[in-house]
Structure 1
Amino acid sequence: MTFVQIIDCKTDKVDDLNRLMDTWVEQTQGKRTATHSVVAADRADSKHIVEIVEFPSYEEAMKNSHLPETDRIFREMVALCDEPPTFTDLDVIRDEQLNKSAARRFFEEVGKGNVDVVDELFALDYHDHDQANEVDTMGAAGMKQKAAGYLAGFDSITFTLGSQLADGDEVATRWSWSGVHSGEFMGLPATNKRVEMTGTTTFRFRNGKIQEGWWNWDNLGMMRQLGLLPR
């Protein structure tokens, strides 16, 4: 179970605190078990500093706290604070990254043949970048038409989703795809050949909607499988 520790302190030496954290990150390289750290200042009280540190589990957090570098940095941190820091230990019972869930839902629903999900997930002025297209697809309506084109050209479609990475308002999803070329696709009559490919799609979100997308996938591999290029 993911474990989160919240550290509260009062200090006006924020720059020194940041330098201290930089030192800890450098000195614990290859040793620390912390996976994510956020340092934030209270808007109502600039001296109120909160650090949120995430670990894979409580046990891993304890390993991290027993590092000599962690102990030394903590003592220096206490010296920077107006009063001893307070700690809150939390077991995470729900962790839902909404943008990642929305990106995953797009692939899952379109794989089932539901192109209407585009109306729900994509911004009206969506901008799509795809290396396979000479001209970018614009708008949610254009994205819906693009998805429908794949569904018309292929049967027995399966999307297998791999890892997802979120950074700010962007989500990258690694995927694999397969389908039987049973209908006209980009001007090519049906070949009844099974096509398999892999790729990564990065979506940028704005106000909960997918605003922009970048597709990187094995377009040449698909063309070879369809017989359009020599193997």
Structure 2
Amino acid sequence: MTFVQLIDCRTSRFEEMDRLMDQWVEQTKGKRTATHAVVGKDRSDASHVVEIVEFPSYEDAMRNSQLPETDRIFRDMVALCDEMPTFTDLEVTRDAQLNTESARRFFEVLAVGDDLSPVTGLVEEHYHDHDPANEQDVIGLDHLRREMDVWRGGFDLTIRIEDQIAQADRVCTRWSMEGIHKADFLGIPATGKKVSMTGTTIFRFGANGKIVEGWWQYDRLGLLAHLGALEPTEL
């Protein structure tokens, strides 16, 4: 279970404390168990500073606190504080990365059922799609639906999410696809073959939580070769 430590302090020497955190990051390379750190200033009181540090588990947090570098930096941090900082230990019970869930939902809609209406709640009307397989970028939700229909019409699809990484307004999804070639696909008559393909998609989300832009990379040539649509290469 992910573990979070909340460090609450007051300081009139924020710049020095910020440099101190840089020192800790540098000195604990290859040793620390912390995976994510966020520092925030109170908008109504600039001397009020909160740091949130994330660890894979409570045990990892304890190992991190026992590092001599952590102990040394902590003593220097206390010296910069106007009063003794407080620590709150939190076991994370809910971690909802909303953009990540929306990206996952997009692939569920792509693969399952005949109804594409849920895409309206996931994708912005002026969506901009970058796919190296297309001569021109796809602009607009209606065009994206037509692209989705090409794949859904040609294959019985199963899509599995392998990995997802989120940063700022972007979510990167590594996925794998399996399907039976059941109908015409890009002019290729149905072969009945079972095919598979892997790919990666990066979605950018707008302020309203909808997908506004996408970048696709996948093994299209491998898929076409499997369907017998490519001439064999002579050695």
**TM-score over 0.5 for the alignment?**
yes
1:100 alignment partner AA: T
Work out whether 1:52 is the aligned partner of 2:52.
yes
The answer to whether the 8 Å contact 1:205/1:212 transfers is yes
Q: Distance in 2 between matches of 1:56 and 1:48?
A: 27
Matched residue, 2:133? 132
Deviation track 1:164-198 (CA, whole Å, cap 9, x = no partner) reads 00000100000000112221112222222222110
Matched residue, 1:62? 62
- Give unpaired runs (5+ residues) of structure 1: none
Matched residue, 2:174? 174
- Count of residues paired in the alignment: 230
Matched residue, 1:6? 6
Matches within 5 A, 1:6-45: 6-45=6-45
Q: Distance in 2 between matches of 1:69 and 1:77?
A: 12
Extract structure 1 runs of 4+ deviating beyond 6 A. none
Deviation track 1:54-88 (CA, whole Å, cap 9, x = no partner) reads 01111111111011000000011111111111111
Q: Name which of structure 1's ranges 164-173 and 16-25 shifts more when overlaid on structure 2.
A: 16-25
Deviation track 1:96-123 (CA, whole Å, cap 9, x = no partner) reads 1000001001112221134222111000
CA RMSD of aligned residues (A): 1.2
Give the superposition deviation at 1:217. 0.7
Matched residue, 2:187? 187
Matches within 5 A, 1:51-90: 51-90=51-90
Using structure 1 for the length normalisation, give the TM-score: 0.96
Q: Residue 19 of structure 2: SS of its match in structure 1?
A: helix
2:28 alignment partner AA: T
Q: Distance in 2 between matches of 1:222 and 1:131?
A: 15
Matched residue, 1:100? 100
Q: Residue 24 of structure 1: SS of its match in structure 2?
A: helix
Matched residue, 2:118? 117
Instruction: Report the identity percentage.
Output: 59
Matched residue, 1:222? 223
The answer to whether the 8 Å contact 2:159/2:175 transfers is yes
Give the superposition deviation at 1:13. 1.8
Using structure 2 for the length normalisation, give the TM-score: 0.94
Q: Distance in 2 between matches of 1:223 and 1:131?
A: 15
Q: Distance in 2 between matches of 1:65 and 1:202?
A: 36
Q: Name which of structure 1's ranges 184-193 and 164-173 shifts more when overlaid on structure 2.
A: 184-193
The answer to whether the 8 Å contact 1:118/1:143 transfers is no
- Give unpaired runs (5+ residues) of structure 2: none
Q: Distance in 2 between matches of 1:189 and 1:116?
A: 28
The answer to whether the 8 Å contact 1:3/1:89 transfers is yes
Deviation track 1:132-180 (CA, whole Å, cap 9, x = no partner) reads 111111111111111111111112x110111100000100000000112
Q: Distance in 2 between matches of 1:218 and 1:16?
A: 50
Give the superposition deviation at 1:203. 0.5
